[in-house]
Amino acid sequence: MRLQGKIALITGAGSGIGRSSALRFAEEGASVIIADLDEVKGEETAADIRQAGGSALFIKANVTDPESVQALVAAAIAEYGRIDVLFNNAGISGVGALHEVEPEVWDRVINVNIRGTFLPSKYVLPHMMEQSSGVIINMSSCIAEIGLAQRASYAATKGAVLALTKSMQVDYAPYGIRVNALLPGTILTPFVENYLKQSYADPEEGLAGIKRRQLSGDLGRPEDVAQAAVFLASDESKFMMGSPLYIDGGVVFG
Ligand code: NAD
């Protein structure tokens, strides 16, 4: 087991990539704290892990709210005594080219994707610094590098998360903490199903177009990203520091 005895906190673990990562982390021996706004889906992920014989705790949390995140971290520490891995996964998208984006939409996307990476890191880091160890995984996107039509606000946040990852790595390397970023391509989750509905008159045709732009010829699955997250969380990646890890079916070459 690659994460035996590790305590991992995953935000947005009620759905998609976060849920799949929580299940994989538990299979690899980690105890998983599932943080999500969505109580029903978060509880479901935790229940599925426990049913499979793993250890999981759901805590309702809003990653944009300092009080909520502080309570989340305090509850995780009270239950498990430490946090070895923080996976800043929760994120949302926003539709529109820049001139079309409403300021409220811009703020919401920036808030969840950037502030929602900042706050859990801010409140978990002191515990990792005291432990002199820890791993943080930040969810960026290949869009940070290649851009995407009609997703100005989202692209801006994922570029920011990548830059933040590198700066965090420099600041916290002296404490034995590694910080890396995941850059997925298009992964079939509710997030992408909504994107297809919002962006294409015919979502099936939109999906076919996305597939054509992948060297792989197909979309990724949440498990593809979860596998990469396990690798970054484990000591197998101990020489990776401040790195972007692409899981994108070769879309950056498309
Ligand atoms: P998803 O919509 O399936 O899951 C996101 C989860 O985050 C949901 O359970 C939601 O309730 C939760 N969440 C949203 N706002 C929150 C908040 N303020 N506080 C706590 N939880 C909150 O999405 P997904 O596709 O699994 O995406 C997960 C991450 O991966 C996101 O950061 C997304 O930007 C990134 N990503 C996704 C893709 C893709 O193609 N699916 C590609 C690249 C990057």
- If asked whether residues 32 and 128 sit together in one domain, one would say yes
**pLDDT for the residue 72:** 98
Nearest atom within ligand 1 for CA of residue 19: 26
- If asked whether residues 78 and 21 sit together in one domain, one would say yes
- If asked whether residues 209 and 141 sit together in one domain, one would say no
Whichever domain contains 155, its CATH number is: 3.40.50.720
**pLDDT for the residue 239:** 98
- If asked whether residues 209 and 123 sit together in one domain, one would say no
- If asked whether residues 122 and 173 sit together in one domain, one would say yes
Residues of the chain with pLDDT under 70: 254
- If asked whether residues 233 and 127 sit together in one domain, one would say yes
- If asked whether residues 133 and 211 sit together in one domain, one would say no
- If asked whether residues 55 and 120 sit together in one domain, one would say yes
User: Could you tell me the residue range of the domain that residue 70 belongs to?
Assistant: 7-185+221-245
- What's the pLDDT tens digit per position in 101-155? 999 999 999 999 999 999 999 999 999 999 999 999 999 999 999 988 889 999 9
- If asked whether residues 93 and 205 sit together in one domain, one would say no
Q: Which of 145, 148, 141, 140 is nearest to 117 (CA)?
A: 140
**pLDDT for the residue 254:** 66
**pLDDT for the residue 199:** 83
pTM, rounded to two decimals: 0.98
Nearest atom within ligand 1 for CA of residue 18: 26
**pLDDT for the residue 213:** 85
Cβ contact 117:182 at 8 Å: no
Residue listed under structure tokens 């990203």:
225
Query: Ligand 1 in contact with 14 (CB < 6 A)?
Result: yes
- If asked whether residues 143 and 205 sit together in one domain, one would say no
**pLDDT for the residue 148:** 86
Query: Ligand 1 in contact with 16 (CB < 6 A)?
Result: yes
Q: Residue 246 catalytic?
A: no
Query: Ligand 1 in contact with 187 (CB < 6 A)?
Result: yes
The 3-state secondary structure of the chain reads CCCCCCEEEEECCCCHHHHHHHHHHHHCCCEEEEEECCHHHHHHHHHHHHHCCCEEEEEECCCCCHHHHHHHHHHHHHHHCCCCEEEECCCCCCCECHHHCCHHHHHHHHHHHHHHHHHHHHHHHHHHHHHCCEEEEEECCCHHHHCCCCEHHHHHHHHHHHHHHHHHHHHHHHHCEEEEEEEECCECCHHHHHHHHHHCCCHHHHHHHHHHCCCCCCCECHHHHHHHHHHHHCHHHCCCCCCEEEECCCHHHC
How far away, in angstroms, is 90 Cα from ligand 1 center?
A: 4
Which of 80, 154, 172, 195 is catalytic? The answer is 154
Whether ipTM tops 0.90, in short, is yes
**Substitution candidate for ligand 1 out of 9, 10, 11, 17 with most atoms within 8 A of CB:** 17
